[in-house]
Amino acid sequence: MQLFYTEQIDGEQKIIHLPEEEIHHLAVLRKRVGDAIQVIDGKGNWYETTILTLEKRHVTLQIHQIIPQTKPKFELHLAIAPPKNIERMEWLLEKTTEIGIDVITPLQCERSERTVLKNERLEKILISACKQSLRATRPTLHPLTKFKDFLVRLDHTNQQRYIAHCENSPKTTLLHNYKAGNNVLILIGPEGDFSPKEILLAEEQGCLSLSLGKARLRTETAGIVVCQTIQLLNEWEK
């Protein structure tokens, strides 16, 4: 199935406009006026449409049906320090979107080796991953945020919080502590791990120290592991 993405939707007129990059995709597939097209808006809606007008730089679609996608009962928020190699960060975003994630906050930590991110490119990767995995909701990607600032801005809603680190201290596991259906925030540090000061600050904000097993994982691998674990724990609860 070929899926298209746009935020240019006129609900009253039941018309959708495709952005330039999606028009190029349409041309590659050699679509014609009247052909059926499936579209997502990144907000949880799936549209069944047909091509109404087809020009080189302007394409409109006629909406025939809107199918809201069922959203999970919980929110998964991953706050993670981007790896030095940007390709690993891109891979992380792609795979966590496919698995299922709601919010991603890149963190700038004391030991971070990457201090700049170009969110425009990363947003395109999220959209591509949504289309690949047939997900109508695009994850929210926040700007790169300093660790301390992120903790200060945390609200005190019904949310379980964890910080995964390699320090030799008592830790819990998601299997034994996370309750399915609850909103969850998980912090993952940079290649050099969180500093002891950062771990203490997180614990003061209600984060439990988290173990991801005996093996030492790369940052992006740890992000994948926690996302998949949360999804599986919620699936098993059904």
* pLDDT at residue number 115: 87
SS3 72: coil
Give yes or no: residues 106 and 187 share one domain: yes
Read off the pLDDT of residues 5-44 as tens digits, 9 standing for 90 and up. Answer: 999 998 788 999 999 889 988 888 898 999 999 999 999 9
* Separation of first and last alpha carbons in the chain: 28
Report how many domains make up the chain.
2
Domain co-membership, 18 together with 92? no
Q: How far is CA 167 from CA 78, 192, 200, in A?
A: 20, 11, 11
**pLDDT value at position 156?**
67
> Distance of CA 59 to CAs 18, 23, 39, 85, 225, Å?
6, 7, 13, 37, 40
| Distance from C-alpha of 169 to C-alpha of 229, rounded to nearest angstrom | 22
- 26 lies in which domain range? 3-68
Do 214 and 180 lie in one domain? The reply is: yes
Q: What is the pLDDT of residues 170-223, one digit of tens each?
A: 999 999 999 999 999 999 999 999 999 999 999 999 999 999 999 989 999 999
Of the candidates 48, 68, 88, which is a domain's last residue?
A: 68
Mean pLDDT of 159-172: 94
Last-in-domain residue among 46, 68, 90: 68
Residue 198 in 3-state DSSP? helix
Per-residue model confidence as pLDDT tens digits over 55-107:
888 999 999 999 988 888 899 999 999 999 999 999 999 999 999 999 999 99
